[in-house]
Chains A and B, each alone.
Chain A
Amino acid sequence: MSRRPYVREVPRTTWFFKHPRYMRYMAREVTCIFIGIYTVILLVGLARLSEGPAQYEGFLEALRQPGSVLFHLLALAFSLYNTFTWFNVAPKALPVQVGDEHWPDSVVSGGHYVVWVGLSLFIRFWAGVL
């Protein structure tokens, strides 16, 4: 009897269509495009801020373009998705064991959510938005 194992190649560019969980994973990964672009926007804002009031005003003007509003909405959706996926798996990377037991995952994740809501409210308040 001869061995002739048959190898099934994984299609490099389309593999993630094969299963919904792969699609969810890729959705998480592409959040980096939106958060990355947003970081560059913040960087540009910082540059304009360092150049003077007129330049900074120009930056705020650019922010008000319809395209910018649209980008913000999209980016916010992806960014929230990033937050949820990050918190939901946080207990895997940082399990908390006290005595003979591990804390349930829901407690570790839940703690993240609580801190997140508190911090977000605090930053809004700091920025003068009530």
Chain B
Amino acid sequence: MTENRMGTRQVELEVLRYNPETDQEPKFQRFTVPCVNEWCVLDALNYLKDNLDSTLSYRWSCHMQVCGSCGMMINGEPKLACKAMLRDYAGVIRVEPLSHFPIERDLVSVADDFMAKLKRVKPYLIPGEKRTLADGEYKQTPAQLERYKKYAMCINCMLCYAACPEYGLTPKFIGPAAISLAHRYNQDSRDGGRDERQEEIATSEGVWECTFVGACSDVCPKHVDPASALQQVKVASTVDWYLEHFMSWVKK
């Protein structure tokens, strides 16, 4: 199979279908798709939609692991369809919408919950020190950049939510990506918004819902390592708590 790099192959795709207008519940549908070995699963879906069944719905945009819109379950694992290469799969490939999210239609999941949570944690720079244009740019050293760099790589693909069992069990959990993004800005030397974000993430719906399963970091296509961000938020919030309660005279 790998020898014949540009060869073709019949791929059996088992796709979870759901049409909100006609279906009571989702069900699998089998397709045989003629594929080129070097295709990714997204290519196979595109071929399927163009040639076999134009009613299939799914999201994608960039085809290069940047936009974060093509997340889906591939053989039970949250993946970007544009990153999952057919050559890595043998036999029937099972494609489902992301776990833990409601299904809008076919492979399209409802992202409203994640979007609302993202907004709550204020994932943008809240300048610590106000500067006018005339004062020039905010400068940052490579060491200061290193403090948050990997957390800035998030593309909001929600794979980590689909992997996180605590989110599945307790949907009010703010979840891995949103808390990691809050941490990304908290770690930024130019930022002064940590207190505001702590009000959201140092809560029982926030980081304290996390039990460090670590699944988020296993599946993240951008190596954001959300689990590490959440543990660091726990450590910092714990230090905060002891300072606030036992040493209120210590100026933070």
Closest-CB distance, A19 to chain B (whole angstroms): 7
Nearest-Cβ distance from residue B227 to partner chain A, whole angstroms: 6
CB-based nearest A residue for B109: A5
- Measured between C-beta atoms, what is the minimum distance from B136 to chain A in Å? 23
Q: Is B225's CB within 8 Å of the partner chain A?
A: yes
B218 close to A (CB within 8 Å): yes
Question: With A7-B102, A15-B165, A93-B231 in contact, do A22 and B21 touch (Cβ < 8 Å)?
Answer: no
Assuming the contacts A97-B143, A100-B143, A102-B146, asked whether A15 and B169 have C-beta atoms less than 8 A apart, the reply is: yes
B residues near A5, Cβ cutoff 8 Å: 20, 102-104, 110
Q: B227 and A89: CB pair below 8 A? A: yes
Query: Is A25 in the interface zone, CB < 8 Å from B?
Result: yes
Contact with A10, one of B146, B168, B212 (Cβ below 8 angstroms): B168
In the complex, chain A residues whose CB is within 8 Å of the CB of B18? 6
CA distance A15 to B164 in the complex (A): 11
Q: Does A124 contact B (CB under 8 A)?
A: no
Which residues of chain A from 39 to 86 have any CB-CB distance to chain B below 8 Å in the complex? Answer: none
* A93→B26 CA distance, assembly (Å): 40
Known: A2-B21, A15-B165, A97-B143. A8 touches B213 (CB 8 A): no
Chain B residue with minimal CB distance to A90?
B231
Tell me the bound Cα distance from A1 to B212 in angstroms: 41
Check if B228 sits within 8 Å of A3, measured CB to CB.
Answer: no
Within 8 A of A (CB), among B200-252: 211-215, 217-218, 225, 227-228, 231-232, 234-235
For A97, list chain B residues within 8 Å (CB). Answer: 143, 146-147
Q: Which of B121-158 contact A (CB under 8 A)?
A: 141-143, 146-147
Q: Mark B31-50, 1 if CB is under 8 A from A, else 0.
A: 00000000000000000000
Q: Say whether B76 faces chain A, with CB atoms less than 8 Å apart.
A: yes
Write out the residue numbers on chain A whose beta carbons fall within 8 Å of the beta carbon of B110: 5
**Is B195 an interface residue, CB under 8 A from the partner?**
no
- Say if the beta carbon of B25 comes within 8 Å of chain A: yes
B147 to A10, Cβ gap below 8 A? no
Q: State whether B235 touches A94 (Cβ < 8 A).
A: yes
Which B residues touch A93, using CB under 8 A?
228, 231-232, 234-235
In the bound complex, do residue A4 and residue B168 qualify as a contact, i.e. CB atoms below 8 Å apart? Answer: no
Is there a chain A Cβ closer than 8 Å to B99's Cβ?
Answer: yes
Which residues from A are CB-within-8-Å of B94?
none
Q: In chain A, what residue has the closest Cβ to B235?
A: A93
Chain A residues with CB under 8 A of B235: 93-94
Give me 17 other A-B pairs in contact (C-beta within 8 A), A2-B20, A92-B214, A92-B232 excluded: A1-B21, A3-B20, A4-B21, A5-B103, A7-B103, A10-B168, A12-B169, A15-B165, A19-B76, A19-B215, A22-B165, A22-B213, A25-B213, A89-B231, A92-B217, A93-B235, A100-B143
Task: List 7 contacting pairs A-B, 8 Å CB cutoff, sorted by A.
Answer: A5-B103, A6-B26, A21-B215, A25-B214, A25-B215, A89-B214, A100-B143
